[in-house]
Amino acid sequence: MLNSTDVFVIGGGPAGLATAIAARRQGFRVVVADGAKPPIDKACGEALMPDAITALERLGIAVPVAEARPVCGVRFLGSGLSAEADFPSGNRGLSIRRTALHRIMTERAAALGVDLLWKTAVTGISREQVQLGERAIRTRWIVGADGASSRVRRWANLNAHSRTSLRYAFRRHYRMRPWTDRMEIYWGKHSQGYATAVSNEEVCVAVASHDPDLRLEESLLAFPELNARLRGAETASAERGSLSANRKLKRVWRGNVALIGDASGTVDAITGEGLGLAFSQAVALADCLGSGNLAGYETAHHRLSRRPLLMARLMLTLDGRPGFQQRTLQVFRKHPEVFHRFLALHVGSLSPFCLALDGLTLGWGLLTA
């Protein structure tokens, strides 16, 4: 019976599995425990931005072509207008069902020799021990990958964070032929709709707003073009809800406990960056476990979160401001190169400093549109 390990990962979602894979590749003995059983599903836009794919490759994971669909860029739609931009050349995105991604990551972890304990909720932690009900496992490192409402974060007294603006998100799949190979963001007055084709016969649709009572079907009325496309399409999954927020923790480690993924802070769903961020954090965390330096992990964590949090804040300045949305779309249509460079910044191919000129173009365009 397993009674000790080097790294104990609490939560076997994408962040926990990525951590387990990265730590195993450093030679650690690794255990993952999750209260649920695979394949684990979750409300998600199911898009992997180019930086997420690079991070997955660093974990030795190449998503099989048959499991995913290529995504070539982003399209904004609203106020009867649309504007689109491709990812910078050499970059590609993918869309994939959460359940398929979970299976691929689970298989990779199992192949590397990670001990996977499903249907096993962690009930507490102490200095060098993880409690699974009556059973305890000794461990050198504890990683909290238990999602946005992390109990590990509370147990390790790491809950302090900067202000959070909560949004409520819902997602569902529709059985239909995809009409686009881009991630689409529909701008409504007080909400956004996201559409991503996840296979040749299924489209994932999500919505996010500040209204806790607004459900998917009702919110689609704010996006007439998307609503028209979905009319008559058969639903292929149940509606799932989740919270979405920008939340930055003051600290992501204490003693021998480190937090990762949504447990360590979140970026709003609008960025499509939560998974990529978790995968990059996993690589950084495993490196720091290797050198025994969790302070270094915190520095890397803050650096990695900076760009997605900036992009979330920039994009959400359009939320609830229809006039501003319309003028931004007009500028992006008139100056497609500006939208293209914003997307390059979003996926980390361009530094914010290179955008100064585009900022002026956008500002001038917004004043004169």
Q: Which is nearer to ligand FAD, 318 or 331 (CB)?
A: 318
73: β partners: 86, 182
Q: What is the closest distance, in whole angstroms, from the C-beta atom of residue 272 to ligand FAD in the complex? A: 4
Q: Which is nearer to ligand FAD, 44 or 158 (CB)?
A: 44
AA identity, residue 162:
S
User: Please, is 355 exposed, middle or buried when counting C-beta atoms within 10 Å of its C-beta (0-12, 13-18, 19+)?
Assistant: middle
From 249, 346, 262, select the one nearest 298 (Cα to Cα).
Answer: 249
User: What residue ranges bind ligand FAD (CB under 6 A)?
Assistant: 10-16, 33-36, 40, 42-47, 52, 121-122, 145-147, 151, 169, 171, 206, 242, 244, 261-263, 269, 272-276, 278
Q: Which is nearer to ligand FAD, 171 or 307 (CB)?
A: 171
Under 8 Å CB-to-CB from 120, ≥6 apart: which residues?
33, 34, 35, 132
AA identity, residue 329:
L
Q: What is the closest distance, in whole angstroms, from the C-beta atom of residue 194 to ligand FAD in the complex? A: 7
Phi-psi region of 20 (alpha: psi -120 to 50; beta: other; left: phi over 0): alpha
Q: Which is nearer to ligand FAD, 243 or 318 (CB)?
A: 243
Q: How far is CA 96 from the centre of its chain?
A: 13
* Greatest pairwise CA separation for the chain in angstroms: 70
Q: What is the closest distance, in whole angstroms, from the C-beta atom of residue 167 to ligand FAD in the complex? A: 8
User: In this structure, is the dihedral angle defined by the CA atoms of residues 130, 274, 227 and 186, taken in order, positive or negative?
Assistant: positive
Residue 103, CB-side half-sphere exposure with 13 Å CA sphere? 9
**DSSP 3-state of 119:** coil
From 166, 172, 176, 147, select the one nearest 43 (Cα to Cα).
Answer: 172
Q: Which is nearer to ligand FAD, 36 or 81 (CB)?
A: 36
Q: What is the closest distance, in whole angstroms, from the C-beta atom of residue 253 to ligand FAD in the complex? A: 16
Under 8 Å CB-to-CB from 360, ≥6 apart: which residues?
none
Q: Which is nearer to ligand FAD, 118 or 324 (CB)?
A: 118
Calpha distance 172→369 (Å, rounded): 36
Q: What is the closest distance, in whole angstroms, from the C-beta atom of residue 335 to ligand FAD in the complex? A: 26
Cβ–Cβ < 8 Å for 167, 269: yes
Q: What is the closest distance, in whole angstroms, from the C-beta atom of residue 301 to ligand FAD in the complex? A: 13
Q: What is the closest distance, in whole angstroms, from the C-beta atom of residue 331 to ligand FAD in the complex? A: 25
Q: What is the closest distance, in whole angstroms, from the C-beta atom of residue 129 to ligand FAD in the complex? A: 15
Q: What is the closest distance, in whole angstroms, from the C-beta atom of residue 131 to ligand FAD in the complex? A: 10
Q: Which is nearer to ligand FAD, 14 or 188 (CB)?
A: 14
Q: Which is nearer to ligand FAD, 35 or 88 (CB)?
A: 35
Under 8 Å CB-to-CB from 63, ≥6 apart: which residues?
48, 53, 56, 94, 96, 101, 104
Q: Which is nearer to ligand FAD, 54 or 361 (CB)?
A: 54
Residue 319 tokens, joined: 């939320």
